[in-house]
Amino acid sequence: MIRILLVDDHAVVREGYRRLLERRADLHIEAEAASAEEALQRLREIETDLIILDLSLPNMGGIELTRRILQRQPDARILAFSMHRDPLFAAQAIRAGALGYVTKSSGTEVLIQAVYKVARREKVLSPDIAPEMALSLLQGESNPAEELSPREFEILRLLLDGLGVEEIGNILNISPKTVQNGHYQIKAKLGVKTDIELARLAMKLKLID
C-alpha cells in the first residue's frame, strides 16, 4: 500500500484526485492539506510513502515546501503537480528535491504512473514538458531564471505577488535583511536594476500573467 499526502489548496481538486487515485487498491490518501503549513503539520502526525503537492500554494509555495520537507525528512518522496507547463517550474521543483513533475493538464494515467515511479524513487517528467526540456538542453537555450536557487525563486514569486519584505520573511522564516539580500541577488542574476524591469522580465518569462 502506498500512503499519500495530497497537498492542494482547492478542496474540489483534492476530492477529484482522491477518487482517481483510490481507484487503485494499492493507493491510499492518508491525509490532505490545503496549505504548506498544514502539510508540515500533517507530516508530524502521520507516516506517508509519497507526497503529491501543488506548486501554486498560497503564501509558502510548493518549491519552498519541498525544501522544508526534505530538511526534516531527507528520504521523502515528492511528486510536484502543477498547472505550469513551462520547463522552468519543473526544473526548479527538481532542483528543490522533488523526484517528479506532472502538469495538471496531463492524462490521468500519466499521474498514476508517475505516482508509482516516484514511490520507487525514480525520476519522472510528464510527457507534455519532457520534450521541451530536452530540446532546450540540446539547443543550449537558457532561461535567466534558471540561475535562481529554489529559495530565490520563492522570494521572487512572493515579490511578484505584491508581498513586502517583512511578510516574505515571516512566510519563509527568514529575516527581512535576508529577503532584501535575496531581492538584490535576484535582480543581479536576472540582469535588471529596478523592480519595474523585474516585473517586465517576469511577464516575458511567463512567471506572471
What is the pLDDT tens value at each position of the chain, 209 positions in all?
Answer: 999 999 999 999 999 999 999 999 999 999 999 999 999 999 999 999 999 999 989 889 999 999 999 999 999 999 999 988 888 888 889 999 999 999 998 989 999 999 999 999 999 998 888 766 655 554 555 667 778 888 999 999 899 888 999 999 999 989 999 999 999 999 999 999 999 899 888 888 777 65
- Do residues 120 and 25 share a domain? yes
159 and 197 share a domain?
yes
Of 78, 113, 137, the position where a domain reaches its end is: 137
What is the identity of the amino acid at 161?
D
- Is the domain of 164 the same as that of 124? no
Does 114 share its domain with 176? no
Residue 18 lies in a domain: yes
CB 123 within 8 A of CB 99: yes
Asked if residue 159 and residue 78 are part of one domain, the reply reads no
Interval 155-175: pLDDT, tens? 998 998 889 999 999 999 899
pLDDT at position 144, please? 76
**With pLDDT > 70 as the criterion, what percentage of the chain qualifies?**
93
Please check whether residues 131 and 158 belong to one and the same domain: no
Q: Based on the domain organization, do 128 and 150 belong to the same domain?
A: no
Query: Does 60 lie in the same domain as 16?
Result: yes
Range of the domain at 174: 144-204
C-alpha 145/C-alpha 196 separation (Å) is 16
Kindly report the CATH number assigned to the domain that includes residue 10.
Answer: 3.40.50.2300
Tally: H helices and E strands in the chain: 10, 6
Res 209: pLDDT? 56
CA distances from 143 to 96, 112, 138, 155, 203 (A): 17, 30, 14, 18, 13
Task: Tell whether 209 is covered by a domain.
Answer: no
Residue 110 in any domain: the answer is yes
Clarify whether residues 90 and 131 are in a common domain.
yes
Query: Structurally, how many domains does the chain consist of?
Result: 2
Domain end call among 137, 161, 177: 137
Q: What is the CATH number of the domain that holds 198?
A: 1.10.10.10
Kindly state whether residues 107 and 176 are assigned to the same domain: no
- Separation of alpha carbons 112 and 128, rounded Å: 15
Q: Can you give the pTM of this predicted structure?
A: 0.84
pLDDT of 142 reads 62
Are residues 41 and 94 both part of a single domain? yes
- Whether residues 74 and 14 share a domain: the answer is yes
d(C-alpha 76, C-alpha 50), whole Å: 7
- pLDDT tens, 68-103? 999 999 999 999 999 888 888 888 899 999 999 999
